[in-house]
Amino acid sequence: MSSITGVSSYSKYLSLVRNLSGGQNDINRLSEQLTTGKKSVDLNAYGPEVQKLLDLRAEMAKKDNYIQSINTAAPRVQATDKVLTSLESIVSSWTSSTTFPFQPGPASVTSAINTNPEGMKVAIDPAKSKLTVGAKYTVTAVPSQQGGNGTFDVTVTDGLGGKTTRAINLGTTPPNDGKGYNFNISGGPGEGAMLNLSFDTLKAASSSSFNVSFPQADQVKDRAEGAMRDIQALLNQRFGDRYLFAGSRYGTEPVTDLLATKQTSKITLNGAVVNTDDYFEVTINGQTFSHQNLAANPKSLTFVAQALTAQINAANPALPMTVSTSNGIITLVGNDPGQKFDLSARVVNSATVENSVDTPSTTQAPTAALPQIDRFTLNGAAVDIGDTFEFTVAVGDPDDPYNQNYYTRNPTAPHDLPPYQTYKVSYTVSDTDYAAGVNNVGQVADKLRQQFATLNPAPPVTIDAVGNGPGIALTSTGFADPTNHPNRTSLFSTSAKVTNGSLENTITVGTLPPEQDSLINVPYADPPDLPFYDAEYLTKGKNAEAYRKSQVTIDDNLNVTYGVSADDKAFQTLVKAMQLVRTAAANPGKWTEYSTQAREMLTQATDQIRSIHAKVASDGATLETIKTSHNESVATLTERIAKIEGIDQNEVAARLSSAMNVQQATYAVAGQTQKLSLLNYLA
């Protein structure tokens, strides 16, 4: 082969290599177009339309950012809308008389527990009474300090700080209270309550107790507290990375316990007189405070309450509460809402003396020359305040009070027999007499002697002289008449009785129901002040971020502020309204007053929540409308961009197929060409 021929062959070889490279480049370019859907990813390929394409792409990116912002905000708005729908449903249910009746319903009163029914037996008429829910009424009777012997000071406490006392003597005409005696409670949340009590027996110191509940009001209270827990949960609703109603405090749960109030508890000391060695004990959160009354101490419950209060206030470390006392009632108020404390109390009364009386007996039967003598003896090592001693002398026949049957059976007997009549004396040991020395049965016997000697009309019987001890002797002033009345062997009969008083002191512990403050209108907290139920209320008190709502830019020069904060006035009204519902249910005596206020606030809350709900719905509609507009713009921009950088898929596919066929043929030629060697070339 000549050199010219060799050079020509090698030139063809190089041309073939170039063709292979160019063909592959065409294939790569066409493949890229099919993959990207664009003519080229290189802007230079678009020549004079580059700037137009860049502008369209920038507009597209802006619209996409707006859509992304809307897609972030819209679900939050939708979640808020659902919560507000639930809140509206709750409020709507409480405007119904089925859920929130106009009356608290009838009271349920337990039967009275009479600790000493022989001394005092009391009953209550619920229909004639005005009662307080949760009250534990204790009725205590002690000898009156103002009235005569046989008169008792009857004290009623409700265990909630209320108390009243009035003097009662069943031997006198009852006061003009209708049937029973009215006791009007004053003090504490039960003030204004009235108890209509009747006494079957009232002759010695004693106590009775009974509890009161309002089943329907209790149900309303339970439902109200359940609704408040639901409201709290809804206002603390979390969505994604934030609490919906926390304002700009995204990671802070906005609402604390809506049921939290300052705990107010009352320790009521019941009784009248404190005896030496009586032991009183109060336990608060496991810490015990006690007082044992000494002989030199005052014998009043007020003194005991003051002593216990002083101990509690001197506790180290100090207890988180305020403690005060008045009229034998200790009041404990927690320092902060939601702060609970456990409270219990007990009393151990000193031993009392059980007195008795021997059955009276006739120690000397009457004759024509001798009078009748009856004797009985009071027994006991001592006496207690409130013990009642009594005896009765009966003259004549109770079954034949005017002796008519006797005269019929004995027509010749003279009509000179006395009619049936009883002469009764009774003495109750009072604290005044006890302090003056009437502390044994001998002294009591003398009190009975003094009373019997002053009876008017005077009985046909005399009593032995003062100072003869616990044994009492009764002597008839007349004699038997065996001639005219041979069957009359007794001139009088005697009966005696001792009713031991029950002056045991008791302690009642009660936690007061939530009370309503004096403000009828909602004391709205405005930014930056936080309402009382805000989680940061106690720690910060002020925080403008709690009210700050989220903002999103959804279009050119268009920002939307969306969402609702838990401190919105609508929610403040709602919380206040539900507190009033709860307060009404806990205070049936003021049901009408509180329930009326609650209904008014529920109506306000309904209107206010609907208003903010409408704003949220409007925000949601705005976001949806703008998003639709952006989607339409994106579609238009996509179409315009496609006209510049878009391709015809079929055409490119056909060209790619053709290029690949050409490339395949070129490779075949190249395969033959590669058979040339350097030796062939040099030859």
Most confident of the following: 218-222, 444-448, 660-664: 444-448
DSSP string, 381-431: S---TT-EEEEEEEES-TTSTT-HHHHHH-TTS-S-PPPPEEEEEEEE--H
Two structure tokens written together for 549 = 């709502």
> pLDDT at residue 7 above 80?
no
Q: Which residue has the tokens 């004693």?
A: 206
Residue type, 647: I
Q: Could you tell me if 126 and 106 are in contact, meaning their C-beta atoms sit under 8 angstroms apart?
A: yes
> pLDDT at residue 154 above 50?
yes
Instruction: Kindly state the average pLDDT of the residues 166-183.
Output: 79
Q: Cα separation of 27 and 653, whole Å?
A: 10
Which range among 107-111, 171-175, 483-487 shows the weakest confidence by mean pLDDT?
A: 171-175
What distance lies between CA 26 and its chain's CA centroid?
83
Q: Cα separation of 103 and 216, whole Å?
A: 9
Q: Which residue has the tokens 């008014």?
A: 600
Residues 6+ apart with CB under 8 A from 629: 555
The pLDDT value recorded for residue 177 is: 63
What distance lies between CA 67 and its chain's CA centroid?
49
Encode pLDDT of 330-356 as tens digits.
999 998 877 889 999 999 998 888 899
Strand 238-239 with 471-476, pairing: unpaired
The pLDDT value recorded for residue 233 is: 96
> pLDDT at residue 175 above 70?
no
Q: Cα separation of 108 and 216, whole Å?
A: 10
The pLDDT value recorded for residue 668 is: 74
Band the pLDDT of 532: cuts 50, 70, 90.
confident
The pLDDT value recorded for residue 15 is: 67
The pLDDT value recorded for residue 518 is: 44
Q: What is the 3-state secondary structure (H, E, C) of 24-35?
A: HHHHHHHHHHHH
Q: Cα separation of 234 and 76, whole Å?
A: 14
Q: Could you tell me if 195 and 129 are in contact, meaning their C-beta atoms sit under 8 angstroms apart?
A: yes
Please name which of 602, 599, 551, 596 lies closest in space to residue 573, comparing C-alpha atoms: 602
Most confident of the following: 79-88, 144-153, 179-188, 576-585: 79-88
Encode pLDDT of 489-527 as tens digits.
999 999 999 999 877 888 889 887 766 554 455 678 999
Q: Greater confidence, 148 or 290?
A: 290
The secondary structure of residue 177, as a DSSP letter, is S
SS3 category, 282: strand
Please name which of 333, 265, 272, 276 lies closest in space to residue 302, comparing C-alpha atoms: 272
Band the pLDDT of 41: cuts 50, 70, 90.
low
Q: Cα separation of 161 and 329, whole Å?
A: 6
Q: Could you tell me if 451 and 170 are in contact, meaning their C-beta atoms sit under 8 angstroms apart?
A: no
- Angle of the 591-645 helix axis to the 50-94 helix axis, nearest 10: 160
Band the pLDDT of 1: cuts 50, 70, 90.
very low
CA angle 308, 145, 196 (to 5 degrees): 85
Band the pLDDT of 309: cuts 50, 70, 90.
very high
Two structure tokens written together for 489 = 């062997």
Residues 6+ apart with CB under 8 A from 672: none
DSSP string, 110-153: PPPEES-TTTEEEEE-GGG-B--TT-EEEEEEEE-SSSPTT-EE
The secondary structure of residue 173, as a DSSP letter, is P
What is the overall mean pLDDT for the chain?
Answer: 87
The pLDDT value recorded for residue 378 is: 97
Encode pLDDT of 589-637 as tens digits.
788 889 999 999 999 999 999 999 999 999 999 999 999 999 999 999 8
Residues 6+ apart with CB under 8 A from 53: 43, 46, 641, 644, 645
Instruction: Kindly state the average pLDDT of the residues 125-151.
Output: 86
Distances (CA, A) of 247 to 77, 522, 544: 13, 21, 9
Q: Could you tell me if 77 and 562 are in contact, meaning their C-beta atoms sit under 8 angstroms apart?
A: yes
Residue type, 285: N
Instruction: Kindly state the average pLDDT of the residues 270-279.
Output: 86
SS3 category, 457: coil
> pLDDT at residue 20 above 70?
no
The pLDDT value recorded for residue 340 is: 87
Encode pLDDT of 352-401 as tens digits.
888 999 999 999 999 999 999 999 999 999 998 889 999 999 999 999 99
The pLDDT value recorded for residue 564 is: 95
Q: Could you tell me if 640 and 57 are in contact, meaning their C-beta atoms sit under 8 angstroms apart?
A: no
> Within the chain, what is the greatest distance between any pair of CA atoms?
196
Q: What is the 3-state secondary structure (H, E, C) of 302-358?
A: HHHHHHHHHHHHCCCCCCCEEEEEECCEEEEEECCCCCCCCEEEEEECCCCCCCEEC
Q: What strands, in cross-sheet order, belong to the sheet with 493-499?
A: 421-428, 388-395, 493-499
Q: What is the 3-state secondary structure (H, E, C) of 578-646?
A: HHHHHHHHHCHHHHHHHHHHHHHHHHHHHHHHHHHHHHHHHHHHHHHHHHHHHHHHHHHHHHHHHHHHE
| CA-CA-CA-CA torsion sign (169, 174, 177, 181) | positive
Please name which of 22, 55, 28 lies closest in space to residue 40, comparing C-alpha atoms: 28
Q: Cα separation of 280 and 303, whole Å?
A: 12
Q: Cα separation of 214 and 222, whole Å?
A: 12
3-state DSSP helix/strand/coil % of the chain, to nearest 5 = 35, 25, 40
What distance lies between CA 481 and its chain's CA centroid?
78
Instruction: Kindly state the average pLDDT of the residues 156-179.
Output: 81
Encode burial over 243-282: b for 16+ CB neighbours within 10 A, e otherwise.
bbbbbbbeebbbbbebbbbbbbbbbbbbbbbbbeebebbb
User: CA-based Rg of the chain, rounded to a whole angstrom?
Assistant: 50
Band the pLDDT of 669: cuts 50, 70, 90.
low
β-bridge partners, 287: 284
Distances (CA, A) of 641 to 33, 56, 64: 15, 7, 15
The pLDDT value recorded for residue 519 is: 45
How many CB atoms lie under 10 A from the CB of residue 652?
18
Please name which of 406, 396, 366 lies closest in space to residue 459, comparing C-alpha atoms: 396
Please name which of 365, 397, 563 lies closest in space to residue 476, comparing C-alpha atoms: 365
Most confident of the following: 211-220, 265-274, 442-451: 442-451
